[in-house]
Amino acid sequence: MPATLEILTSPALEGVRHGFMTRKGGASSGVFSGLNCGHGSSDLTEAVTVNRARVAEAFDLTPAQLVGVYQTHSPDVVAVTGPLEAPVEADALVTNTPGVLLSILTADCQPVLFADREAGVIGAAHAGWRGALEGVLENTIAAMETLGARRAEISAVIGPCISQQCYEVGWDFMDQFTLEDPAYARFFTQGPTDKPIFDLPSFGLYRLREAGVGHAEWIHHCTYNEPDRFYSYRRSTHAGEADYGRLISVIRL
């Protein structure tokens, strides 16, 4: 494992190799300084390729075994058995195939890693507010079940994402949640201005627990508040930066 990479892990996924990468240990520079793994950014292609190769190497795999999807904030999930021949639009992946490194890119949204160790089934989901509201977490669990997982045996861990204190939203944003379920008002509170602030990780945990997973947790790192460790779309926007890096979270059997 390259010594310079910082890989955050959770005891809840012990026995399954996984990690939520920070921005440390990468080849990118400027606003992307560090481990930017998003080819969708305007970073140098060569730098992103090097960064992704370092991640694969850290998990004893080749870059070709690092599998991701074209994320669109959807509830869609794809089951994979190896490298994808063409880009697939989805926001979560599941597999029961050893040697496939599932990956999700984020920059404030929730990266969620799933594992049923006994069944040998894993998953990774990109769960922003829209995907979480539309069911990407539940759909990931259901897709894992089709591969032999049991939801009561699934552990799900939310990685670094934006925290409530940094997530000011509009009233129309809040309305989308409360129209779905008035009880969702509990995930909003009064912010420092007259606008509400939204607790994304608590909402994610609620949806995971309501879906019946055996264990769900957030690792309590805010992407906005730790600029030296994490990329943040919102922080970059507030700073007037032209673009932002993408964090990568991965899991393999």
Domain boundaries, given as residue ranges, for the chain: 7-163+199-251
- Are 157 and 10 within 8 A, CB to CB? yes
What pLDDT, on a 0 to 100 scale, did the predictor assign at position 1? 44
- Are 28 and 180 within 8 A, CB to CB? no
Residue 2: pLDDT band with limits 50, 70, 90 = very low
Q: Model pTM greater than 0.85?
A: yes
Q: Residue 216: enclosing H or E segment and its boundaries? A: strand 215-218
Top-tier CATH class for 7-163+199-251: alpha beta
Average pLDDT of 190-206?
A: 96
Of 221, 225, 170, 224, nearest in space to 198 by CA: 170
Residue 12 CA, chain-centre distance (Å), reads 16
